[in-house]
């Protein structure tokens, strides 16, 4: 899932990332797919394989279900001013929900895409929502009414992810084949393509595509764009490949670093985030779960934290201290990163 | 993970004309005592054909014929209505849904075998593997009992994805190499099938004439099953040379090619239709790959995205050309996939409760037989196995399924005597 760009969080320095630990376990009955901490810090929202969203109150542990989608939801995004949550489902729906409600019902239901909605993102000014999906479309919708504004045409395969630049002037979308497109929001004009094709492979033995940009985030100063996924795939049907984050210098559009785990691991980077201090976090799954920490400027992870099972996503709270990871076993685990 | 055999891409299995002929002559089993004439009389006047669509690796029944949306095992896809009220299939098959009136779904299959090779054996032979006996593939059986000699084509053609190709005498088991399969890698005719450039028609004729005379002289004194198979195969190669145009699917109108899809599977199914239209007895088209231990849903979008429109077009095309009523169509895999979704969004091997689809000759379209429980983990009604499916094939083609082959006067039932036809799907 796409992580929202962080613009206001204070730096935590020095961090003691090696002592990152789970501080709260929130158990749900169905495996989870995606998750986001709400901007107020009060809740974590996760999506599950029973088509529901679940809102957990981080202080009380109280759970409120959000029901109504007719398929799985991978992507969540907030518009903090109106306290609205947007969710995109594999049935092509985008729903707008109240963040705070005892019995939440969708404010708006939009048939947005043909096939899966892969990602949604709210612009920094809160005036638009962007979405992308398996119909190869990247769409911009007005807020709060979700009326179509424009489409960004150019992807030739499933569009897996998107995010706004922190200043909101550009929209960046990325697809199955690792093509990253930089769009000018005001005109819809394609500015350039960035190459993350290292995250894609056509497996000739299996006769299928594998990979794609599974996670995406901007650094707060917009100097870096991170795209996570899987690379060096040797067996597509078993997902035998290595996690990788492609780090772009956003100004030049060139790859700056390829971030790899220090120790061998088989799987995919399902969530990526920039810590305000400069650390880059990645969470993944495959042969188990893992949370990696990369120091700024280093290609090999410095710290690795073994997770109980496959991580399906990652979100870092604005203050940079807490992070939320939804898991394949139905657990949402809240972790804290201590300072030294 | 259990081992899995995929389309062989190795050069050693590349089929040359010499290899084709040599293979046909080698390793023949005894044909003595086979009761062929009586079987032939069972056939209706019109030639029957069989088309097997083999979804390699094990297609998910939940993403095809037996969806369970809204359950813990259902996955993200929805069920859609079909041309037959009351029968729903997965939303990944919208084109196929419109052809449901031609299809019969068997939703209660329990083959109890989760290993690729052994599962494939069951679905190709209708039997479980036995140490002391190898049974022939359905294609070999049909090549024999439906009579392929007059077609000028191999009785059992396998159109496989990828390159390579080859002659697979083991598929015919005790029926002998005359009934073996010929694999057309990526739908291409056997390499070197055509006569060498520069050889004139007269030279070709003289060469064949000499060969015939030598064969006849040899056969008068030392006629064996091997020599018969060799002579048959050479004759077949000559006939295939004369019909090389069959492999040129680009001869089809662009509109037809586009309907089938311009990807490999589309091209292969179009070739299958051309072969059947030209009299081929048994054609198998493999589509690869469905062994989705990882990202089951992504892969089924991709693979079934190819399968759906092509298969629906194939059914409709066969119907429009009047071929469907003479052609038994079966869509099978070696097994299904686990209802439980693993931590990598994958589904693993599952043979306890899965589905196949049938259409065409002798099949009652618009039916669904057998049920599984709410989560698809077990068959709850009309459980059948590979043996039942084979009995059904025979009966659909107007053949008795209780007859025997004979090896040295030893009777070998053509279909597993412990099973019986699935009569509910028979027309």
CB contact under 8 A, B76 and A208: no
**Tokens describing residue B334:** 């070696």
Average pLDDT over residues A49-61: 98
Between B56-70, B149-163, B402-416, the lowest mean confidence (pLDDT) is in B149-163
Instruction: Give me the residues paired with residue A273 across strands.
Output: A281
pLDDT at B193: 66
Residue B392: strand, helix, or coil: helix
Gap between the Cα atoms of B410 and B32, Å rounded = 11
Each residue's pLDDT tens digit, B168-189 = 889 999 999 889 999 999 998 7
pLDDT at B213: 79
Q: Please, are residues B325 and B276 in contact by the beta-carbon 8 Å criterion?
A: no
Confidence of residue B151 (pLDDT cuts 50, 70, 90): confident
**Tokens describing residue B271:** 């070739």
Confidence of residue B93 (pLDDT cuts 50, 70, 90): very high
Average pLDDT over residues B197-223: 76
Average pLDDT over residues B94-122: 98
Gap between the Cα atoms of B333 and B57, Å rounded = 7
pLDDT at B401: 95
**Tokens describing residue A152:** 């960004």
Residue tagged 């076993």 (tokens): A329
Q: When comparing pLDDT for B185 and B206, which is higher?
A: B185
Stretch 141-180 of chain A: residues touching chain B, C-beta under 8 Å? none
Going by C-alpha positions, the residue among A6, A146, A164, A8 that lies closest to residue A82 is: A146
CB contact under 8 A, A309 and B343: yes
**Tokens describing residue A25:** 């376990």
Question: A195: Cβ–Cβ under 8 A, 6 or more apart, which residues?
Answer: A178, A179, A180, A255
Residue A155: strand, helix, or coil: coil
Average pLDDT over residues A62-77: 98
Rounded to 5 degrees, what angle do the CA atoms A42, A133, A268 make? 70
Which domains, ranges and CATH numbers included, belong to chain A? 17-336 (2.130.10.10)
**Tokens describing residue A157:** 């395969």
Q: Please, are residues A86 and A94 in contact by the beta-carbon 8 Å criterion?
A: yes
Mean pLDDT of chain A: 95
Instruction: Give me the residues paired with residue B227 across strands.
Output: none
Each residue's pLDDT tens digit, A28-44 = 999 999 999 999 999 99
CA-to-CA separations, B19 to A244, B11, B22, B406, in angstroms, rounded = 46, 13, 5, 29
**Within a 10 A sphere around the Cβ of B257, how many other Cβ atoms?**
16
pLDDT at B215: 72
Each residue's pLDDT tens digit, B154-168 = 899 999 998 777 788
- How far B3 CA lies from chain A's nearest CA (Å)? 11
**What are the DSSP calls for B140-188, one per residue?**
HHHHHHTT-GGGTS-SEEEEESSS-EEEEGGGGGGG-GGG-EEEEETTP
Between B147-151, B191-195, B331-335, the lowest mean confidence (pLDDT) is in B191-195
pLDDT at B29: 31
Average pLDDT over residues A105-116: 98
Q: Does residue A243 sit at the B interface (CB-CB below 8 Å)? A: no
Q: When comparing pLDDT for B198 and B75, which is higher?
A: B75
Is residue B33 scored above 90 in pLDDT? no
Q: Please, are residues A46 and A27 in contact by the beta-carbon 8 Å criterion?
A: no
Which domains, ranges and CATH numbers included, belong to chain B? 31-191+243-425 (3.40.720.10)
Is residue A243 scored above 50 in pLDDT? yes
**Within a 10 A sphere around the Cβ of B35, how many other Cβ atoms?**
13
Between B3-7, B87-91, B156-160, B359-363, the lowest mean confidence (pLDDT) is in B3-7
Between A54-68, B9-23, B210-224, the lowest mean confidence (pLDDT) is in B9-23
Is residue B36 scored above 90 in pLDDT? no
pLDDT at B188: 86
Gap between the Cα atoms of B411 and B35, Å rounded = 10
CB contact under 8 A, B76 and A71: yes
Q: What is the dihedral of CA A227, A230, A233, A239, to 10 degrees?
A: -150
**Tokens describing residue A200:** 């894609």
Gap between the Cα atoms of B293 and B1, Å rounded = 8
Q: Report which secondary-structure segment, H or E, holds A191.
A: strand A190-195
Q: Please, are residues A294 and A303 in contact by the beta-carbon 8 Å criterion?
A: no
Average pLDDT over residues B219-237: 67
H helices then E strands: how many in chain A? 0, 30
CB contact under 8 A, A237 and B343: no
Predicted-complex ipTM score: 0.95
Each residue's pLDDT tens digit, A142-198 = 999 999 999 999 999 999 999 999 999 999 999 999 999 999 999 999 999 999 999
Between A211-225, B86-100, B119-133, B203-217, the lowest mean confidence (pLDDT) is in B203-217
Residue tagged 């049974």 (tokens): B135
pLDDT at B41: 45
Going by C-alpha positions, the residue among A184, A163, A282, A274 that lies closest to residue A230 is: A282
Shortest CB distance from A239 goes to which of B57, B162, B294? B294
Shortest CB distance from B78 goes to which of A70, A209, A310? A70
pLDDT at B80: 98
Is residue B233 scored above 60 in pLDDT? yes
Q: Please, are residues B50 and B330 in contact by the beta-carbon 8 Å criterion?
A: yes
Shortest CB distance from B289 goes to which of A51, A237, A285? A237
Average pLDDT over residues B60-69: 98
To test the contact with chain A by mutation, choose from B185, B340, B341, B344 the residue with the greatest count of A C-beta atoms within 10 A, namely: B344
Phi and psi at B204, nearest 5°, equal: -65, -45
Is residue A15 scored above 90 in pLDDT? no
Going by C-alpha positions, the residue among B244, B299, B298 that lies closest to residue B275 is: B244
Each residue's pLDDT tens digit, B249-270 = 999 999 999 999 999 999 999 9
Confidence of residue B232 (pLDDT cuts 50, 70, 90): low
Is residue B91 scored above 60 in pLDDT? yes
Residues of B in contact with A208 (CB under 8 A): 289, 299, 302-303
Alpha helices for A145-218 (secondary structure H): none
Is residue B26 scored above 50 in pLDDT? no
Q: Does residue A309 sit at the B interface (CB-CB below 8 Å)? A: yes
Query: Please, what is the angle between helix B116-125 and helix B138-145, to 10°?
Result: 20
pLDDT at A123: 98
Whether omega before A14 lies within 30 degrees of 0, making that bond cis, reads yes
Gap between the Cα atoms of B93 and B79, Å rounded = 9
Which residue is closest to A270 within chain B, CA to CA? B344
Phi and psi at A84, nearest 5°, equal: -115, 140
Q: When comparing pLDDT for B35 and A307, which is higher?
A: A307
Whether omega before A177 lies within 30 degrees of 0, making that bond cis, reads no
Gap between the Cα atoms of B25 and B166, Å rounded = 14
Q: Are strands A138-142 and A128-133 parallel, antiparallel or unpaired?
A: antiparallel
**Tokens describing residue A258:** 């390829």
Mean pLDDT of chain B: 86
């Amino acid at each position: 899932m796409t992580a929202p760009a962080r613009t206001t969080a204070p730096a935590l320095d020095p961090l003691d990332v090696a002592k990152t630990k789970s501080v709260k376990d929130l158990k749900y009955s169905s495996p989870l797919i995606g998750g986001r901490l709400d901007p107020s810090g009060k809740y974590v929202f996760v999506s599950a394989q029973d088509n529901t969203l679940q809102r957990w109150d981080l202080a009380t542990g109280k759970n409120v279900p959000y029901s109504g989608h007719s398929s799985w939801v991978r992507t969540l995004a907030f518009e903090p001013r109106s306290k609205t949550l947007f969710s995109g489902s594999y049935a092509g729906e985008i729903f707008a929900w109240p963040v705070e409600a005892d019995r939440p019902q969708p404010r708006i239901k939009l048939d947005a895409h043909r096939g899966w909605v892969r990602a949604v993102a709210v612009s920094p000014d809160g005036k638009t929502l962007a979405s992308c999906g398996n119909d190869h479309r990247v769409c911009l919708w007005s807020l709060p009414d979700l009326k179509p504004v424009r489409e960004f045409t150019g992807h030739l395969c499933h569009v897996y992810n998107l995010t706004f630049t922190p200043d909101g002037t550009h929209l960046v979308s990325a697809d199955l084949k690792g093509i990253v497109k930089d769009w000018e929001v005001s005109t819809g004009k394609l500015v350039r393509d960035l190459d993350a094709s290292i995250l894609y492979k056509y497996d000739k033995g299996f006769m299928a595509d594998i990979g794609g940009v599974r996670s995406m985030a901007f650094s707060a100063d917009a100097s870096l764009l991170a795209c996570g996924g899987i690379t060096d795939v040797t067996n597509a049907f078993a997902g035998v490949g290595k996690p990788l984050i492609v780090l772009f210098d956003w100004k030049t559009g060139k790859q700056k670093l390829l971030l790899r785990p220090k120790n061998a691991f088989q799987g995919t980077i399902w969530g990526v985030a920039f810590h305000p201090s400069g650390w880059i976090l990645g969470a993944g799954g495959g042969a188990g779960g893992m949370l990696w920490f990369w120091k700024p400027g280093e290609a090999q992870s410095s710290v690795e934290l073994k997770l109980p099972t496959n991580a399906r996503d990652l979100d870092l709270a604005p203050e940079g201290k807490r992070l939320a990871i939804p898991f394949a076993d139905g657990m949402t685990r809240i972790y804290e990163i201590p300072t030294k | 993970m259990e081992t899995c055999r995929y389309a062989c891409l190795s050069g050693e299995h590349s089929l040359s004309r010499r290899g084709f002929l040599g293979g046909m002559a080698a390793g023949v089993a005894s044909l003595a005592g086979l009761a062929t004439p009586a079987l032939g009389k069972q056939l209706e006047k019109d030639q029957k054909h069989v088309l097997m669509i083999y979804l390699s690796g094990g297609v998910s029944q939940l993403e095809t014929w037996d969806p369970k949306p809204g359950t813990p095992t259902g996955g993200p896809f929805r069920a859609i209505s079909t041309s037959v009220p009351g029968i729903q299939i997965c939303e990944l098959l919208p084109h196929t849904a419109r052809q449901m009136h031609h299809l019969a779904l068997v939703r209660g299959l329990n083959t109890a075998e989760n290993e690729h090779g052994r599962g494939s054996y069951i679905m190709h032979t209708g039997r479980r593997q036995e140490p002391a006996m190898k049974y022939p593939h359905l294609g070999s059986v049909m090549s024999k009992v439906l009579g392929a000699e007059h077609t000028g084509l191999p009785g059992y053609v396998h159109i496989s994805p990828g390159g390579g190709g080859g002659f697979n005498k083991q598929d015919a088991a005790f029926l002998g190499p005359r009934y073996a399969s010929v694999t057309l890698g990526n739908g291409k005719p056997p390499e070197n099938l055509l006569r060498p450039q520069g050889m004139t028609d007269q030279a070709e004729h003289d060469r064949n004439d000499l060969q015939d005379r030598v064969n006849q002289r040899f056969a008068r004194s030392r006629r064996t099953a091997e020599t018969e198979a060799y002579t048959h195969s050479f004759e077949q190669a000559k006939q295939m040379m004369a019909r090389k145009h069959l492999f040129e699917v680009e001869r089809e109108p662009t509109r037809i090619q586009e309907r089938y899809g311009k990807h490999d599977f589309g091209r292969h199914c179009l070739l299958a239709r051309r072969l059947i239209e030209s009299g081929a007895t048994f054609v198998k088209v493999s589509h690869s790959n469905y062994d989705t231990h990882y990202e089951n849903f992504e892969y089924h979008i991709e693979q079934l995205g190819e399968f759906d429109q092509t298969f629906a077009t194939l059914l409709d095309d066969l119907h429009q050309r009047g071929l469907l009523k003479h052609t038994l169509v079966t869509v099978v895999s070696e097994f299904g996939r686990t209802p439980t979704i693993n931590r990598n969004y994958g589904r693993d091997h599952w043979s306890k409760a899965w589905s196949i689809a049938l259409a065409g000759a002798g099949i009652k379209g618009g039916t669904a037989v057998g049920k599984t429980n709410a989560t698809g983990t077990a068959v709850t009604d009309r459980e059948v196995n590979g043996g039942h499916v084979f009995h059904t094939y025979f009966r659909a083609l107007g053949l008795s399924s209780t007859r025997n082959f004979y090896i040295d006067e030893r009777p070998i039932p053509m279909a597993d005597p412990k099973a019986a036809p699935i009569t509910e799907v028979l027309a």
